[in-house]
Structure 1
């Protein structure tokens, strides 16, 4: 009993230390965004602002059009997530419950696509977007990201765990395939669906490389690119305006952190059910 308690205490201590190490950068980001410039120049760093100020956020908004960046990011995220989730549902249903030639080989091809970084394919996609005149538009931000191999994989695993008798019973009652998918299977796989939604929202919201390549004006910039533009606007004076960069970074990170805090239970549930079958 004593050894068991000692092991538990050791694990708890290690968990606390690891958590503090992981959370400290976020904590430092947040408190720095509220510090005045004079305090940042101090030779001795402060772990709590001596004087809180919201002026950094005001100055950040004046330096860059963050409201426009935020709206662009929201439109991109909604478009990408809507397409990815619906295509993933349809594909996962086919791979999990369909019976057609080459099904398993096609699914392995989808899995293989998960290891291909977007930097590998961006040149041909960029040429395609240029040929159809979609550069610097929402079409270029959304359409190339319409399919998620990881989302298909997670939802396929969830659908395979559902008994086929449910589908057969629905067919007897006259339900068609889309009705079975959206009204029966999707609610039964809700934890996994929520997880896919969260991952796709986070991925699209934090996307940097693709919007940077596909857009070239402030009217189409997203938040992540906006932070880089903010840094460029004060080039040579980063240390004098470090608090502005931190304030802008908080504006980008805050929605995602809040989303994760309220949905972490669904993520853990889906991850525990996503073993390869």
Structure 2
């Protein structure tokens, strides 16, 4: 039995760490609800004197927020769908397939994990420019259609599954796609959910790639729009900082919601993703 003092100390330490990590989010939220006059006070307030919910509506008048949101949704949805389906098929082949060079090809996939986007964006940019894809949804989605980490994560999960399930499905006349999507995918739901969250967060928060691949407000995404909004208020932060915080809260809200609903699956998947 653990000593009550030890339990209390651990609880207090956990609460203190949680408070420190949550404080920036709290400050962003209350700043988004303050008026410009309150932001100019010499002594900062830790609770809004008056809740300015209209700040969230004013964001749509400051920048093309609706258009940026639509572009972000299309980009994120396209990347998530492609990454999950490609990772499922590739992981199935690497985990249960038998073909020459399987393990060596998988090592090449793992090697892709150490290559950052900044290294390959120049040749990819030149290629997309030559085929006329710059400033289009294709440029935002296609270069990120496959995820090396997602393939690794699902491959480890599929390898832990008994082959008897696959053999039984084959005897019932199921083809490979039916086995993958109707049998293995439901069994690997925690890992699929984890990959969905990782892919969603990475796509939704992507900044460098959309900045390079787009050059008009028609194709800008939210992260680039926030940076543009920040630059536009440079030197005048006291009058517009509340709008920037309101926009930031709106941007991170979908990520928070997705993570809350998927956190149980993430913990389960991470505990089962040892290298085998």
Scaled by the length of structure 2, the TM-score of the pair is 0.97
Aligned to 1:263: 262
Give the CA deviation at 1:174: 1.2
1: CA distance, partners of 2:54 / 2:183: 51
Aligned to 2:81: 82
Mapping 1:156-167, distance limit 5 Å: 156-167=155-166
1: CA distance, partners of 2:172 / 2:82: 30
Aligned to 1:6: 5
Give the CA deviation at 1:104: 1.2
Give the CA deviation at 1:233: 2.3
Give the CA deviation at 1:4: 3.0
Aligned to 2:35: 36
Q: Which runs of 4+ in 1 moved over 4 A?
A: none
Mapping 1:199-210, distance limit 5 Å: 199-210=198-209
Deviates most, 244-253 or 57-66: 57-66
Deviates most, 7-16 or 161-170: 7-16
1:226 matched to 2:225? The reply is: yes
Gaps of 5+ in 1: none
Pairwise CA RMSD of aligned residues? 1.1
Aligned to 1:69: 68
SS at match of 2:3: helix
Mapping 1:1-277, distance limit 5 Å: 1=1, 4-277=3-276
1: CA distance, partners of 2:21 / 2:159: 35
1: CA distance, partners of 2:39 / 2:222: 24
1: CA distance, partners of 2:122 / 2:238: 36
2: CA distance, partners of 1:188 / 1:54: 44
2: CA distance, partners of 1:175 / 1:149: 28
SS at match of 1:253: helix
Scaled by the length of structure 1, the TM-score of the pair is 0.97
